[in-house]
Amino acid sequence: MNPTSAGILTLLVGLLVALTTLWFIARSRQQEPAAQANQGLYKARTLYFVILSLCLLAGLTATLGKVPYGQADAANSQVVVNVNASMYNWEMVKVGAENAGELVIPAQKDVEFRVTGLDVNHGFGVYDADGHLLTQTQAMPGYTNRLVYNFAQPGVYHVLCLEYCGMMHPKMNTTFRVE
Amino acid sequence: MSNPALDNKRITVVYTVTALLVFLVLALLGWVMRLTQSGMVQLPSDAFYSVMTLHGLGMAGVMYTGAYAALWYLLSGYVQPSLKLMKINFVLILLGVVGLIGATLIGGFGAGWYVLYPLPFIEQWPRWSSLLAIVSLVLLGVAWLLGQLDLLRVLAQRYGLGGMLAWPTLFGKKSEAVPPLVLVAAINLLAGALTTVVGAVMLVLYLFQWMEPTVSLDALLMKNMVFLFGHTLVNITLYFGIAAIYELFPKYSGRPWVTNRVVALSWNVTFVLVMLVFFHHLYMDFANNIALHYIGQVGSYLSAIPATVVTVFGVLAQINRSGIRWSFVPLTFTLGVMGWIIGGFAAIVDTTIAINLTFHNTQWVPAHFHTYFLLGFAVMLFGIFYHLLEPEAEKLAKTSLAAILVGGYGFVTMFYLGGVNSVPRRFSGYEAVQTGTIAQTGHDLAVYAVGFAAILLVGVLLYYAAVFRRIGAAWNRA
Ligand code: HEM
Ligand SMILES: [Cu+2]
């Protein structure tokens, strides 16, 4: 689910919750003893429990297959980029092309980023040129996180730091090209 | 002549008034952050991050402490916790708060509220300020832990270990059920105590690191520890608020709220869930054990069941065709639970690993937690404090609530829009970003948020005008 759909879903559910609340507040003008008033409510609760459980189950089955873990092993990527994050700099080097100057990544290939932090935690956030966050992983000292991404379109891509790392954190960004 | 009920009341009033004053200062700092992000105020980025750190740590701390005080007071209707400890803790907590203010605003300490290792130890601010911040957190942690243990002690004495957890009700033995207040308190105090111990260990390791800069700790382990402590703390804060609502709502609706088997079961399940869901903070640490990521998502999803099936339906059963008089307090409870659920849903969305990949550390995160804290928990707490202080200023209080809701929902909506538009959280300014329209969007949303936060702050001030109106009477009434 992309961020916009997630936002719309949240808005709709939020409105539903608000309307339900208001409806119950409005209904509270009527007065009945609790046992009598709530008979229907307890039936609704059972129904709600079943529906909620099904929704949660559906949500889990639909999304748990789409986790970003283990993809590096499965993909056996031909292109590997080492990403070293330090305050406040991104060092990105394609394995096998150490001195080739600007980083260029092939389009439509599984690219594996091996991401680590050299000093503190940073966040490796990959954006397209329009400002959509495409994928990310943490750059943590002492650990290497392996992130796989397949760039469909050639163009310029941006990296923003997504983990607060100190005073200059908002300035810690760079770009690379996909061809 | 000593009057225990009056003494209990007075110490609670002291906590309440202090919490409200600290809250106001921290809320103003939140506004200053939005002003900075909008460019209307030019705050250097080091100052921004000190303010951010104080705001985050301070809000988490003041919300917890306020909730604890309310819980303590309500429980003192059933058991007598140590009044002396409550007083000592007040001093410890005050010292901790003063220490944090000194470390951040004077010392410039700015590692963020979850003080992610090893950021606190990288020289960007004087070394003493890191030490002061850690020591202040130790003071707070000690006070909180002692407070949790003391309440658990008196509850276990009165109800027994299994009794306070409603096990007799759960396992079908014929025994009088404990009030839901006691059950919910016991469950969450226990989870709090267990995880605060972990927090204490972490802080001791931090102290050790400070004294011995050559040692190096495991960053991933530290992150697991800090979130086990920090996440659970803020989570039980919310549940303390819920516990208070279980206790107080019947006083306004005239309908009892009892611990039946469903209630007992769901809170016992919550006991496990509340200590497991913190793994959702580590989704982007691919190197963390993968099973833990799954536990994070499944656990987070599951926690929606007890929260809504039991608590939300419980609230609805309180008001459904009840003829209740909608004074300020039940309004805050009902609308607060509503905010808690809306923010909770947004959080569940974010605990979906596949979605977190493009929401993690965007403004979606402050969006959802400000929803359930500010529009959920703080609204409930304002109601609880009003109940306690009995200012009889209905009209003013309701006006303040309207402003808080309008300003508050507008304020968080700007965060949600930031999240949807991939605007990163925790940026002191967006000028340096040259990616698409992020800089423009981040800036514009901050401008609108400044306006909404102003309405919100006016609401908060009106609320203060209401509750402080007859504070002297509250002081003298047991
Ligand atoms: C009362 C009005 C409030 C305002 C105007 C406000 C504003 C803000 C702002 C602007 C940020 C920075 C967002 C960013 O990452 O760019 C922030 C962060 C935060 N706020 Fe609030 N906030 C308010 C209330 C609360 C409440 C009630 C809590 C309760 C827990 C809270 C807890 C936090 C935390 C934990 C952070 C994160 C700090 C960090 O990232 O280290 N805030 N707030
Ligand atoms: Cu950074």
Average pLDDT, chain B: 96
- Cβ atoms of B283 and B358 within 8 Å: the answer is no
Set of chain A residues whose Cβ sits within 8 Å of the Cβ of B220? 140, 142-143
Distance B457 CA to ligand 1 centre (A): 14
Q: Are B361 and A123 in contact (CB under 8 A)?
A: yes
* Tens-place pLDDT, residues B339-373: 999 999 999 999 999 999 999 999 999 999 999 99
pTM > 0.95: yes or no:
yes
How many angstroms separate the CA atoms of A146 and B205, rounded? 29
Query: Which whole number is the average pLDDT over A1-23?
Result: 96
Q: What is the pLDDT of residue B2?
A: 75
Looking at residue B11, its pLDDT comes to 97
What integer pLDDT is reported at residue B133 of this predicted model? 98
Cα angle, residue A13 at apex, residues A45 and B383 outer, rounded to 5°: 75
Tokens of B114: 């979850």
At B1, is the pLDDT very low, low, confident or very high (cuts 50, 70, 90)?
low
Q: Across the interface, which of B116, B124, B338 has its CB nearest the CB of A121?
A: B116
- Pairwise CA distance, residues B27 & B456, whole Å: 10
**Cα(A113)–Cα(A123) distance, integer angstroms:** 13
CATH entry 2.60.40.420 includes domain A73-178: yes
Ligand nearest to the CA of B373: 1
DSSP symbol at A156: E
Neighbours of A138 (CB within 10 A): 30
Which chain B residues are closer than 8 Å to A24 by Cβ? 316, 319-320, 334
Indicate the pLDDT class of residue A1, thresholds 50, 70 and 90. confident
Residue B48 has pLDDT above 90, yes or no: yes
Nearest ligand for residue B339 CA: 1
Q: Which two tokens stand for residue A41?
A: 């409510």
Lowest mean pLDDT: which of A25-29, B2-6, B232-236, B346-350? B2-6
Q: Is A64 exposed, middle or buried (0-12, 13-18, 19+ CB in 10 A)?
A: middle
CB contact under 8 A, A34 and B118: no
For β-strands A173-178 and A104-105, DSSP reports them as parallel
Residue B435 has its nearest CB partner, among A30, A131, A147, at A131
Distance, in angstroms, between A72 CA and closest chain B CA?
A: 11
**Range B393-414 average pLDDT:** 98
Q: Tokens 């397949």 sit at which residue?
A: A150
A76 pLDDT more than 90: no
C-beta atoms of A169 and B426 within 8 A? yes
pLDDT at B174 > cutoff 70: no
pLDDT of residue B182 exceeding 80, the answer is yes
Q: What is the pLDDT of residue A100?
A: 64
d(CA B133, CA B117): 14
Q: Are B71 and B236 in contact (CB under 8 A)?
A: no
Q: Is B60 in the pocket of ligand 1 (CB under 6 A)?
A: yes
Closest C-alpha to ligand 1, atom 2: B27
Ligand 1 pocket residue status of B239, Cβ below 6 Å: no
Chain A residues with CB under 8 Å of B223 CB are 121, 140
Output the residue whose Cα is nearest ligand 1's atom 1: B27
pLDDT tens-place string over residues B185-238: 999 999 999 999 999 999 999 999 999 999 999 999 999 999 999 999 999 999
Q: What angle do CA B454, B457, B459 make, to 5 degrees?
A: 115
Phi (first) and psi of residue B426, to 5 degrees: 60, 40
Determine whether the shortest distance from the Cβ of B59 to ligand 1 is under 6 A.
yes
pLDDT band at B82 (very low <50, low <70, confident <90, very high): very high
Give the C-alpha separation, A164 to A141, whole Å: 14
- Taking an 8 Å cut-off on Cβ atoms, the answer to whether B417 and A147 are in contact is no
User: Which chain A residues have a beta carbon less than 8 Å from that of B109?
Assistant: none
Measured CA to CA in angstroms, residue B7 lies from B3, B69, B94, B204, B240 at distances of 6, 13, 20, 35, 22
Does ligand 1 lie within 6 Å of residue B364's CB atom? no
- The alpha-carbon radius of gyration of chain A (Å, integer) is 24
Nearest to residue B281, comparing CAs of B86, B99, B125, B112?
A: B112
Mean pLDDT of B441-465: 98
Sign, CA dihedral A92-A94-A100-A105, equals: negative
How far apart are the C-alpha atoms of B455 and B406, rounded to whole Å? 7
CA–CA gap between residue B38 and residue B463 (Å, rounded): 27
pLDDT at B56 (0 to 100): 98
Atom in ligand 1 nearest the alpha carbon of residue B415: 13
The residue ranking higher by pLDDT, A103 or B173, is A103
Residue count of chain A, please give it: 179
Q: Would you give the end-to-end CA distance of chain B in angstroms?
A: 14
- Tell whether ligand 1 has an atom less than 6 A from the beta carbon of residue B23: no
H helix or E strand, kind and range, residue A138: strand A133-139
Give the integer Cα–Cα distance in Å for B122 and B66: 33
What is the pLDDT averaged over residues B171-191?
91
Residues of A in contact with B398 (CB under 8 A): none
Q: What is the pLDDT of residue B177?
A: 87
Q: Which ligand is nearest to the CA of B456?
A: 1
Q: Are B160 and B175 in contact (CB under 8 A)?
A: no
Report CA(A165)–ligand 2 centroid distance (Å): 4
Per-residue model confidence as pLDDT tens digits over A149-169: 999 999 999 999 999 999 999
- ipTM of the complex in this document: 0.96
Q: Which residue of B has its CA nearest to A173?
A: B433
List the domain boundaries for chain A. 3-66, 73-178
Q: Is the bond into B250 cis (omega within 30 degrees of 0)?
A: no
The Cβ of residue B465 has, within 10 Å, a number of other Cβ atoms equal to 15
The predicted structure's pLDDT at residue B180: 97
Per-residue pLDDT for A142 more than 90? yes
